[in-house]
Amino acid sequence: MMGINRRDFLTALGVAGGGSALAFGPQVGLKVFQTLWGEDWVEVPTGLETRINSICQQCPGGCGITVRLVGDRAVKIDGNPFYPINRGGLCPKGQSGLQSLYDPDRIRGPLKRVGERGAGKWESISWDDAIKTVITKLQEIREKKETHTIAIMAGETRGLMQALLERFLLAFGSPNYIRVSDDLAAGPLDAFYLMQGLKEGLVYDLEQANYILSFGCDLLQSFWSPVQVLRAFGYIRRERGSRARVIQIEPRQSITATKADEWIPINPGTEGALALGIAHLMIREGLHDENFIWNNAFGFEDWIDDSRISHQGFKGLVLKEYSPGIVSSITGVPVDVIIRLAREFATTKPAVAIGLRGDVPSQMAVHALNALVGSIDSPGGVLVARDIPVPELPPIEPDEISQKGAQMPHIAQPAKEKYLLADYLPHTFLERASTGEPYKLEALFLYQTNPIFSSFNPEGVAGALDKIPFIVSFSSFMDESSQQADLILPDHTYLERWQDDPVYNLKGYPIIGLRRPVVSPLYDTRHTGDVIIQLARGLGGSLAQAFPGKDFPETLQYYFQKLFEQGRGDLVGQEFEEAWSKLLARGGWRSPSYQTAEEFWQRLQEKGGWWEPIYYYGEGERVFKTPSQRFEFYSQILKERVGVLAEERLKAIGVQVRGDKLFLPHWEAVKPPESNEEQYPFILNIYQPLVFAGLINASQPFLQGITSPAPLERWDCWIEINPELAKKLGISYGDQVWVESPRGKLSFRAKLVEGAMPEVVNIPLGVGHKALGRWAKNIGKNPLLIVEGHLEPLTGRPLINTTRVKIYRA
């Protein structure tokens, strides 16, 4: 930038005019001159300084952000102090968001594949041509009356965008919406379903808990909404009257374990057994909450059903099978520790037990502890988030072809007898896509997901994608899966687009954030919502009518108009306002901070979101949707699903336990049949560090720069092993080491840490991309490539940490 003078610089610095340049003269003045002397002519942003509130999307956490702009440039992201998810705080990913916006390797406009698939040869095309191409393809499919052969695979998508994608499919005539979610970040959702009858809304009221017993859930690193947990952590440690105790049970000394009051190393995969041992002691010592169990639980005591058959209850099973001695030998946790944990957990109320979405019986074992201490639907325990209002869109009137198509079986729905608890599974989808059974897919749309990287089996995924003749990616970045696409219709980044963000907080309140563009799109990208609407309009007929607005922003306004009409909640506000609206709501009052829909829309943009800060306890039908309308230790849902299955079927799906025990929390070793402990003596334990949880941020150099405190370990991937073990194997710090599973081997740098159990090999997940730009491509390795990917027998979901490995120097 030539012709700049000192005064321009000072103006840009915001210090010209007043006397302050003098007041702090030496520093500021010289800093400015220094730039002038230096060889770097740096274009300093100029213009008015403003702030815009929006919502982060570096992960699904849903934090409110305030972006600082100088002129038309975004120069800093901070937390929105008003926003109830994060109250001004942000995690490192939220902080590095501008590196996503200004990523030099972004896709800058629509691309059409020219070379072979995956060869990376692209040609720019215009949006008109791109959209025409898709419309022509979809028309062909429709003419053949095969509308069901299109599918949309979407990552952590919610709210209006998900509604529009599903609506598009429905109106076009396909059942195939496939949501890919991150299991490592979710809580024990299957237990929540089996014991409380609910598929979503599981929250832990951490801020009011006094005792947090985490069974392997790396709360401070890979929870689905990180800042909420981090904020709650600070709060329960020092901000409120009493200091909560946090106990972390897991095979690796994670950050959570480091920051907890106590880390309890445990044999991998035996967390469920420990939970049952704790339950055993609580029941034996009469420390369980009889009141809760009497009033709200089913299947605790032995019971007799309508046909006079008697059944075992939780109590009987646990007392019989999980004495501390047995549990100690399974878990490796000393008996006295188990006794202490049981007593502390039972007496330090409110207490809450948090698990992972691992094998179903273990999930149930951990979740049962919450019922034992009466921490279900009570302060400091497990809450069921209140419904986020879903503003209605006008009804769809699909024609006959579409109706027929939409009624076809879901492409990703596994055979019922195969996995009893699965609606649809991404990997089933891939198998189906490659075999062409029950039908062949003609077109696939990828939205905010990168299945090639996040799968255990990238070649498998690539192979499956290869069988689909037409693939469209909406990604803003050239990721592994987009490389296999035929057409890329790049979306804006989250800092350039309108979007709603429905989410709930740990107190169970519904919140809807408003994501709005903080800068105009830098490149020739387009909101995927707009593209979907344009496709629908181009296809015409009932499809066009399915979308109320001419583009996404208009639809969004329509949506918020409907929300306004529902007459619920208020704009997000500070904590004292929260207390105030609660008080009002108790008296049946509501005094929103806006009168008209226009005012609502206007102020929504200023504040950043809407919420309804109230939780009602004791709404039995809302928190227990089980057949008994109680908390079910004995899962009747599971019993009904298993119901008619014949013995050989159970065997085929790998369920060993029989009888009542199958429907109760219990523990069975998740042992892959082919596991060979002699040949592969160690267990592979993969964990997700905060910066890469969700697997989308590896392209941001500030995040690559903090993966480890040790510079030599960054920009790479490592294994963490116990120093004693390393000595035995002749491995020193920094050596390259082969990690070999029955599936294959990869080499990693060795890191010796005392916080590693001698029989466990820990590897972080998140690097090892083969695409995604200069800071991600060919950096580190992806441990998923050696994971065996055993499937949970009931849900069919891959279990990430059951692989056995051997290690040796490379």
Partner 1 sequence: MVRWGMVIDLDKCTACQACVVACQVENNVPPADPTIDAQYRAIHWLRLLEYREGEYPHVRTRLIPRPCMHCDKPPCVKVCPVGATNIGSEGIVDQIYGRCIGCRYCTTACPYTVKYMNWYRPRWPEEMKKAFNPDVTIRPKGVVEKCTFCSHRLIKARERVRAEARELGPGDYIPACVETCPSNAMYFGDLENPNGTVFQLARSHRAFKLLEDLGTEPKVIYLSEGE
Instruction: By CB under 8 A, name the one of 2, 3, 5, 38 that touches partner 1.
Output: 38
Q: How far is the CB of 151 from partner 1 (least distance, A)?
A: 34
Question: Which residues have C-beta within 8 Å of that of residue 629, sequence separation ≥ 6?
Answer: 620, 621
List for the chain the helix, strand, coil content (%; round to 5): 35, 15, 45
DSSP assignment letter at 455: S
Any contact of residue 93 with ligand SF4 (CB under 6 A)? yes
Q: Is 683 in the site for partner 1 (CB under 8 A)?
A: no
Q: Which does 59 bind (CB under 5 to 8 A by kind): ligand SF4, partner 1, none?
A: ligand SF4
Rounded Cα distance between 569 and 557, Å, is 17
Is residue 436 exposed (0-12), middle (13-18) or buried (19+ Cβ within 10 Å)?
exposed
Contacting partner 1 (CB under 8 A), which of 112, 117, 158, 237?
237
CB 96, min distance to partner 1, A? 5
Q: Is 28 in the site for partner 1 (CB under 8 A)?
A: yes
Interface mask toward partner 1 for 358-397; x: CB under 8 A: ----------------------------------------
Q: Which residues 205-234 are close enough to bind ligand SF4 by CB under 6 A?
A: 226-227
Could you tell which of ligand SF4, partner 1, none binds residue 239, using a CB distance below 5 to 8 A set by kind?
A: partner 1
- Which residue number is nearest to ligand SF4 in terms of Cβ? 94
Question: Pick from 115, 438, 548, 758: which binds partner 1 (CB under 8 A)?
Answer: 758
* Closer by beta carbon to ligand SF4, 223 or else 456: 223
Residue 61's binding partner out of ligand SF4, partner 1, none, with CB under 5 to 8 Å set by partner kind: ligand SF4
Count of Cβ atoms closer than 10 Å to residue 81 Cβ: 14
Which partner, ligand SF4, partner 1, none, binds residue 14 by CB below 5 to 8 Å per kind?
A: partner 1
Q: Is 493 near ligand SF4 (CB under 6 A)? A: no
Residue 156: how many CB atoms within 10 A of its CB? Answer: 19
Q: Show contacts with partner 1 in window 692-711 (CB under 8 A).
A: 701-706, 709-711
Give 234-301 as a DSSP string.
Answer: HIIIIISSSPPEEEEESSB--HHHHHSSEEE---TT-HHHHHHHHHHHHHHTT-S-HHHHHHHEESSS
Give the one entry of ligand SF4, partner 1, none that residue 590 binds, where binding means its C-beta sits below a cut-off of 5 to 8 angstroms depending on kind.
Answer: none
**What are the residues whose beta carbons fall under 8 Å from the beta carbon of 574, sequence distance 6 or more?**
81, 82
Backbone φ and ψ for 573, nearest 5 degrees, come out as: -150, -175
Q: How far is the CB of 68 from partner 1 (least distance, A)?
A: 8
Exactly one of 52, 59, 154, 786 binds ligand SF4 (CB under 6 A); that residue is 59
CA distances from 8 to 45, 46, 504 (A): 11, 9, 46
Q: Is 67 in the site for partner 1 (CB under 8 A)?
A: no
Residues near ligand SF4 (CB under 6 A), total:
13
Residue 722 interaction partner, one of ligand SF4, partner 1, none, beta carbon < 5-8 Å per kind: partner 1
Enter the tokens of residue 658. Answer: 């029989």
In the bound state with ligand SF4, the residue whose beta carbon lies nearer, of 402 and 499, is 499
* Distances 489 to 116, 127, 136, 414, 706 between C-alpha atoms, Å: 18, 8, 15, 31, 32
Residue whose pair of structure tokens reads 């939205």 in the numeric block = 447
Q: Which residue among 15, 52, 54, 58 contacts ligand SF4 (CB under 6 A)?
A: 58
The smaller minimum CB distance to ligand SF4, of residues 226 and 451, is found at 226
Kindly state whether residue 101 participates in binding ligand SF4, applying the rule CB under 6 A: no
Distance CA 439, CA 81 (A): 51
Contact positions with partner 1 (CB under 8 A) in 168-207: none
Q: Does 328 bind partner 1 (CB under 8 A)?
A: no
Q: How many CA atoms lie within 13 A of 484 on its CB side?
A: 24
Q: Which of 2, 5, 23, 595 binds partner 1 (CB under 8 A)?
A: 23
Selection from 383, 389, 424 nearest residue 196 by Cα? 383
Nearest of 275, 284, 269, 271 to residue 315 by alpha carbon: 284
Our finding on whether 74 is near ligand SF4 (CB under 6 A) is no
Binding-site partner at residue 356 among ligand SF4, partner 1, none, CB < 5 to 8 Å by type: none
Output DSSP code: residue 16. Answer: S
From the list 182-190, 388-396, 679-687, 755-763, the region that binds partner 1 by CB under 8 A is 755-763
Residue 63 is a binding residue for ligand SF4 (CB under 6 A): yes
**Contact region with partner 1 (CB under 8 A), list: 280-288, 300-308, 496-504, 719-727:** 719-727
Only segment of 15-23, 348-356, 646-654, 737-745 that touches partner 1 (CB under 8 A): 15-23
Site for partner 1 contains 212 (CB under 8 A) = no
Q: Is 78 in the site for partner 1 (CB under 8 A)?
A: yes
Q: Can residue 62 be called a binding residue for ligand SF4 (CB under 6 A)?
A: yes
Q: Which two tokens stand for residue 637?
A: 């849902």
Q: Which is nearer to partner 1, 70 or 287 (CB)?
A: 70
State yes or no: residue 689 binds ligand SF4 (CB under 6 A). Answer: no
Q: What is the 3-class SS of 349-365, one letter each residue?
A: CCEEEECCCCCHHHHHH
| Residues 208, 378: Cα–Cα separation, whole Å | 10
Would you count residue 337 as binding partner 1 (CB under 8 A)?
no
Query: Tokens 């940490």, residue?
Result: 801
Helix (H) or strand (E) holding 12: helix 6-13
Q: Least distance in Å: CB of 192 to partner 1?
A: 25
| CA-based torsion, 35, 36, 39, 41: positive or negative | positive
The answer to whether the peptide bond before residue 438 is cis (omega within 30 degrees of 0) is: yes
